[in-house]
Amino acid sequence: MKITKMQGLGNDYIYVNCLEETVADPAALARKISDRHFGVGSDGLVLIMPCEEADFRMRMYNADGSEAEMCGNASRCVGKYIHDRGLSDKTEISLMTGAGIKILKLAVKDGVTETVRVDMGEPELEGAKIPVNVSGNPVVGAAVEAKGQPFRMTCVSMGNPHAVIFVDDADSFDVHGVGAEIEVNPLFPRKTNVEFVTVKDRTHLRMRVWERGSGETLACGTGACATLVATVLNGLCDKKAVLELNGGPLTVEWDTETNHVFQEGPAEFVFDAEYDA
């Protein structure tokens, strides 16, 4: 099987062009191929597929084999793959995801995609639809406990659930201990991603993310979007900000007139290979 490894701010996935390849059991392949010691090593598996309702379809699987609805970094990489590998010459691509159709706008120079801006759609703020077993619309300042400590979280769905927690110093915070407990907290029927955020100023945020099904990753596009929305809801930042993730900066904007959230950042090829599936 031909595979391609790509990364968006260090959030790395294995990509398979399913216009040419067939993956019989994506969940099993995701678990095997993502292992960083016995496999290729990645945060998960992404399938690029044909689609009748949009230009292409993306299905993505976390490293534990669970299927996720959406990933901002992966969608940027899919956009670059589609254009730079000649699957389409469009610079605006509609992509079907588990969270609906997303629009990718590619910044192309000399035939190479440099950055991708993704319309991530509208944030879901109603507790029951995120889903989180906390009433509210929005869910701001909800109580949650982990590692014997109380925390306050703001919950947002960007097609997948997020719990955003503000901390004094994200760099030194126990992301692994607290994140792992909150991910599987019974408050979240489908588990949750957890973002730990320090507000630097009104246009700069520092964020670390514990991704549902993968653990801490270097970046999370949906998490960055959820974080900006949560920070705006708490009155702590402007509607456009740069988020400093472990893998680098990501620009996120919440256009409250249309209620759409946009994220823009890089996508890079790492290598191509043949994998014995």
Share of the chain above pLDDT 90, in %: 100
Task: Please name the amino acid found at residue 42.
Answer: S
Euclidean distance between CA atoms 93 and 235, whole angstroms:
34
Q: What is the pLDDT of residues 81-118, one digit of tens each?
A: 999 999 999 999 999 999 999 999 999 999 999 999 99
Q: Which of 71, 77, 155, 225 is catalytic?
A: 71
Q: Pick the catalytic residue from 77, 155, 220, 225.
A: 220
Active site residue 51: no
Note down pLDDT in tens along the chain; length 277 residues. Answer: 999 999 999 999 999 999 999 999 999 999 999 999 999 999 999 999 999 999 999 999 999 999 999 999 999 999 999 999 999 999 999 999 999 999 999 999 999 999 999 999 999 999 999 999 999 999 999 999 999 999 999 999 999 999 999 999 999 999 999 999 999 999 999 999 999 999 999 999 999 999 999 999 999 999 999 999 999 999 999 999 999 999 999 999 999 999 999 999 999 999 999 999 8
Residues forming a β-bridge with 47: 16, 59
CA distance 113 to 127: 37
SS3 letters across the chain: CEEEEEEECCEEEEEEECCCCCCCCHHHHHHHHHCCCCCCCCCEEEEEECCCCCCEEEEEEECCCCEECCCHHHHHHHHHHHHHCCCCCCCEEEEEECCEEEEEEEEEECCEEEEEEEECCCCECCHHHCCCCCCCCCEEEEEEEECCEEEEEEEEECCCEEEEEECCCCCCCCHHHHHHHHHCCCCCCCCCEEEEEEEEECCEEEEEEEECCCEEECCCHHHHHHHHHHHHHCCCCCCEEEEEECCEEEEEEEECCCCEEEEEEECEEEEEEECCC
Task: State the Cα–Cα distance between residues 97 and 270, nearest whole angstrom.
Answer: 23
Burial 74-94 (b: 16+ CB within 10 A, else e): bbbbbbbbbbeeebeeeeebb
Please report the domains of the chain, with CATH numbers, ordered by start residue.
2-120+265-274 (3.10.310.10), 127-258 (3.10.310.10)
C-beta separation of 154 from 233 below 8 A? yes
Partners of 113 in beta bridges: 108
Active site residue 220: yes
